[in-house]
């Protein structure tokens, strides 16, 4: 029987990505699965802080092994914005279209379109906290392409590819994404615990 582990998210697409990555190795539970309906406040100013706030919130209330991630897009020419504010860059949390519009407007006429996606995972395992990081470099397209993924995926082209994350299949994105890299590290850690 796989070990139950809570992923501190209500985001169904994130859960789908991570579940596809872990296969049958873990029994992944979402916040909904454990009856946690509240939105956990992300009051940190770094990815590490926000991931840690979310994992501690779940562990302190439910006493379950859990992990949380905080991810974001960092655009070099925008002084690494939107960064930790990626989900609410244009003001309204989760308005992906407005967020992409703001990034594209900020880069209007820019020759440097380098960017990277970063994920930090905070895992609380048997009361101990562990961090895992994943990063993928790329560039920001001048316009959207593709309908898959979520967030900034339609404007982010990963290094070495000529398509955006939103044009990739879930399987392809899951092999190279920032979250996939961080999850690989988390899975390797958990495999060493058994």
95 is in an annotated binding site: no
60 is in an annotated binding site: no
How many Å apart are CA 147 and CA 62, to the nearest integer?
36
150 is in an annotated binding site: yes
Whether 2 contacts 24, CB under 8 Å: yes
Please give the helix or strand (H or E) that residue 164 lies within, else none: none
The answer to whether the bond into 82 is cis (omega within 30° of 0) is yes
Please give the helix or strand (H or E) that residue 33 lies within, else none: none
| Strand pairing category for 114-125 and 66-75 | antiparallel
- Please tell me the predicted confidence (pLDDT) of residue 2: 63
Locate tokens 């070990």: which residue?
Answer: 3
Q: What is 135-155 written as a DSSP string?
A: EEEEEE-SS---SSSSTTGGG
pLDDT in tens, the chain (194 residues): 566 789 998 877 778 777 777 766 678 889 999 999 888 888 999 999 999 999 999 999 999 999 999 999 999 999 999 999 999 999 888 799 999 999 999 999 999 999 999 999 999 998 999 999 999 999 999 999 999 888 999 999 999 999 999 999 988 998 899 988 999 999 889 888 75
9 is in an annotated binding site: yes
Looking at residue 127, what DSSP letter applies? T
Among residues 33, 39, 69, 70, the one annotated as catalytic is 70
- Please tell me the predicted confidence (pLDDT) of residue 142: 96
Q: What are the backbone angles phi and psi of residue 117, rounded to the nearest 5°?
A: -100, 135
In order of 86, 104, 114, 116, 127, the CA distances from 97 in angstroms are: 12, 11, 20, 19, 39
Of 97, 125, 157, which Cα lies nearest the Cα of 3?
125
pTM of the model: 0.88
Which domains occur in the chain, in start order? 3-193 (3.90.950.10)
How many Å apart are CA 173 and CA 185, to the nearest integer?
17
114 is in an annotated binding site: no
Q: What are the backbone angles phi and psi of residue 111, rounded to the nearest 5°?
A: -90, -30
Alpha helices (runs of H) in 4-109, residue ranges in sequence order: 12-22, 47-62, 96-106
Q: Is residue 70 flagged as an active site residue?
A: yes
- Please tell me the predicted confidence (pLDDT) of residue 65: 93
- Please tell me the predicted confidence (pLDDT) of residue 194: 59
Whether 106 contacts 82, CB under 8 Å: no
């Amino acid at each position: 029987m796989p070990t139950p582990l809570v992923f501190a998210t209500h985001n169904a697409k994130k859960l789908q990505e991570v579940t596809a990555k872990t296969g049958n190795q873990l029994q992944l539970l979402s916040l909904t699965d454990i009856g946690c309906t509240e939105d956990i406040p992300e009051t940190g100013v770094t990815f590490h802080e926000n991931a840690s706030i979310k994992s501690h919130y779940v562990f302190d209330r439910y006493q379950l092994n859990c992990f949380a991630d905080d991810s974001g897009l960092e655009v070099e020419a925008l002084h690494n914005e939107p960064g930790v504010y990626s989900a609410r860059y244009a003001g309204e949390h989760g308005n992906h279209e407005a967020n992409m519009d703001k990034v594209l407007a900020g880069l209007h006429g820019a020759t440097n379109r380098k960017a990277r996606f970063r994920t930090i995972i905070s895992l609380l395992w048997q009361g101990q906290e562990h961090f895992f990081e994943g990063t993928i470099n790329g560039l920001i397209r001048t316009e959207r392409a593709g309908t898959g993924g979520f967030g900034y995926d339609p404007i982010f082209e990963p290094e070495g590819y000529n398509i955006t994350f939103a044009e990739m299949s879930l399987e392809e994105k899951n092999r190279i994404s920032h979250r996939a890299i961080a999850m690989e590290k988390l899975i390797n850690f958990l495999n060493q615990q058994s």
